[in-house]
Amino acid sequence: MASKSPKRRTVRRAPKARTTGQASHPGAKGTIADASSGTKLAALIAVLSTPKGATIAQMMALTGWQAHSVRGVMSGAIKKQQGLSIASKMVGDERIYHIASKR
């Protein structure tokens, strides 16, 4: 019986180095001033800053994200990193979110 040849291993290329010196996730530790740069985060903060507020469905349509992503951004980027307090109230059968005040 003939012996089998060893399996060939795939050689992976090393990832390209960043030449611009930017962080891996720009805006991750931003401030409110950074949020006015025309990003989706800035759009969410703007819509939540209005007295009327917004529903999850409205924020999904604004950003193109899924519901769990919108909730995650509200919890992580807006509440924890930006230090803003988000309040909600039930109007009919939907929940309206808005920025209450700074902590």
Which pLDDT tens digit goes with each residue over 9-33?
Answer: 777 777 776 655 444 444 444 444 4
Rounded distance between C-alpha atoms, residue 27 and residue 25, angstroms: 6
The pLDDT assigned to 48 comes to 94
Task: Decide: pTM greater than 0.75.
Answer: no
Contacts of 26 (CB under 8 A, 6+ apart): none
> If you search the block for the tokens 């950074």, which residue do you land on?
34
Per-residue pLDDT reduced to its tens digit, 39-89: 999 999 999 999 899 999 999 999 999 999 999 999 999 888 888 999 999
pLDDT > 60? residue 96:
yes
What is 34-102's CATH number, 1.10.3470, 1.10.10, 3.40.50, 1.20.58?
1.10.10
Question: What was the pLDDT predicted at 89?
Answer: 93
